[in-house]
Amino acid sequence: MALAAPKETYAGRVFEVTIGTSKTAVFGGENVLPFHKFDGDTPHKPVIAFEIQDVAPEDWPDTVKEVYGDAASDPVKWALYCQNNLNAQAIALRLISTHPDRENRSADDAAKTVKAVLDSIEVPLIILGSNNVEKDATVLVAAAEAASSRNCVIGKAQEGNYKTISAAAMAQNHKLIAMSDLDINLSKQLGILITQMGFEKERMIADPMCSALGYGLEYTYSVMERIRLAALTQNDVIMQPPMLADIGMYVWKVKETQASEADLPKWGSLKERGIAWEAVTAGAMLLAGAELLIMRHPDAVRSVQKFIEEF
Amino acid sequence: MLIIGEKLSIIAKRVREAMLNRDKSPIQEIATAQWKAGSGMIDANIGPAEDNGEDLMQWMVTTIQEVVPLPVCLDTTNFKAIESGLKVHNNQWGKPLINSTSNDPERFPILELAVKHNCQIIGLTVGKGGLPADAEERSSIAAEIMGRAMEYGLPLEDLYLDPLVLQIATSQDHAIQVIRAVKMFQEMNEPPMKTVVGLSNISNGCPKHVRPILNKHFFVMLMNAGLTAAIADANEIAEAMKEKQQIDDVLAGKTIDDAAKIAETKKTIDVITGKTLYAHSYLEM
């Protein structure tokens, strides 16, 4: 008698989300745990977006800055470089210069940048604020309008600003990132509040808050894992949106990606170390259930893509 | 079921101010209300009370017993405050209850105090190393506390085992473990061990309108599991007793007339048992 491999079946399924217009990216749709394709359907592979900013990345470590060089001086050039030279599946534009503690650029400025980038690229765009709760509420509304009808991802809506941001994303027909502070119950609560505004849960992407390897990654991992289990085993519809891991911004500020070889010779090559740190963090997030990643270094992206292809 | 009226806690602003100013009337008013609503004992929670704890506990015990013919639950980690409270406690209304000893060696002397003064004591099933993970771990700590009680000469009927209720908003998995622990504790002795919970901690951190709903449902489930005592608001328990039949019917899968009540009960039970993930707005889903 042939051995029948046991199969784990689940009551729930992750929502399938399509972003972009001319060129699209699709993720989610599975009814199994990450990479458990032997148990059920995994119609789409995780998508990786390249992170760019609306200003030159002065605050990024050299390892990543060197890759983009001159292209990073202008968001349109930078986006095109990612799309054309690095074959990016999607671009994540962070409007970091709008932060009040940075250049404090206006929402109008941000809207112009968004429009310019969207006018030049074909791949889907993720539009991120500066993570300032008050400022994002104005910046992301303007950005959502500037990106009208382009089926972008707008984020991140948080407890303190979800009303205005989700209303704008709803009005302009975008997808929405809902971010909560590393707590599964708060993640569900934010999801409920956003859907109570009339925003469709099928258009949401959950960001349980990322972290870097060695800096609380296990907390993110555990929350993501439990969100996915609630989605599948409890068929909890609020927990069924795909999950985002916003990796680059956490990885490229930790000591391991910054400390020089002169200071820490035992740690080996700074460049390899940084790339590996981003790739390993991303790999862990994929295993925890993330379907959409935001990353910075092309070599790290390539190795993660290889990891995705192999499974 | 023994209800230990919980409203006299230093955490409440009004009570804290009354304690500070030694203003008897708010304390007596609350104690009387808890007594009238059905409490069989009054909890006096003075916190760690590092300064003047002895004085404060004595004042609390006498202030309460001036107007209420009930024993007092001496709720503090301060050994000396408990000891001084016991000295003035009027045992004519019943044995006082100490809250609490545990499996932490620092709390062993409090157990000796219970023996010395012939009173009752709560054994909180936690050790020195963090929170118990499940009902089994709570039971093994309970066994150690019971062993120590016997060794020190405390009759087991004077020991109330407390499985430690945690907040459902952050530690949802523990709610069902607490219910299981209450059942398991009873099986650890013949006659069954007495059990007690700090009921309202289940809903600590939850929205105000959700708190009584969670408290009442959790109480009914614990009562069904055989709980002996609860540190709780006697008014809320009175409401829970009125709703108990309905809640039991829904638990048993029967249909009752009130559709809204069915929904509320089903959702709340699912959250307590861990069938659905808790969120502050779980009732609106």
Domain residue extents for chain B: 2-234
pLDDT value at position B130? Answer: 83
Find the residue in B nearest to A228 (Cα): B277
Mutate to test the interface with A, among B174, B281, B284 (most CBs of A within 10 A): B281
Interface pTM, i.e. ipTM: 0.90
In chain A, what is the straight-line distance between the N-terminal and C-terminal CA atoms, in Å?
Answer: 29
Whether residue B61 has pLDDT greater than 90: yes
Check if CATH label 3.20.20.20 holds for domain B2-234: yes
pLDDT value at position A311? Answer: 77
> How far away is chain B from the Cα of A200, in angstroms, using its nearest Cα?
14
* Fold (CATH) for A23-310: TIM Barrel (3.20.20)
Q: How far apart are CA A285 and CA A272, in angstroms?
A: 20
Mutate to test the interface with B, among A162, A181, A189, A201 (most CBs of B within 10 A): A189
Q: A51-77 burial string, b = 16+ CB within 10 Å, else e?
A: bbbbbbbeebbebbbebbeebbebbbb
In this complex, is the C-beta atom of A292 within 8 Å of any C-beta atom belonging to chain B? no
Looking at chain B, the whole-number percentage of residues with pLDDT higher than 70 is: 100
> How far away is chain A from the Cα of B285, in angstroms, using its nearest Cα?
8
Among the partner-chain residues B169, B277, B284, the one whose CB lies closest to the CB of A236 is B277
Q: Which residues contact A102 (CB under 8 A, 6 or more apart)?
A: A55, A96, A130
| DSSP-assigned beta bridge partners for residue A154 | A127, A176
pLDDT value at position B51? Answer: 85
Cβ–Cβ under 8 Å, residues B111 and B121:
yes
Taking alpha carbons only, the member of A238, A203, A245 closest to residue A224 is: A245
Cβ-Cβ contacts under 8 Å, B280 against chain A: 185, 189
Cross-chain Cβ contact B276/A236 below 8 Å? yes
Q: Which residues contact B219 (CB under 8 A, 6 or more apart)?
A: B199, B230, B232, B236, B237, B240
Cβ–Cβ under 8 Å, residues A94 and A130:
yes
Query: Which of the four pLDDT bands, split at 50, 70 and 90, describes residue B204?
Result: very high
Domains of chain A by residue range: 23-310
pLDDT value at position B128? Answer: 85
Cross-chain Cβ contact B277/A230 below 8 Å? yes
Task: Split chain A (311 residues) into runs of 10 and give each run's mean pLDDT.
Answer: 87 98 97 95 97 96 96 97 98 98 98 98 98 98 97 97 98 98 97 98 98 96 97 97 98 96 95 98 98 98 96 77
Mean pLDDT of chain B, nearest integer: 96
pLDDT value at position B255? Answer: 84
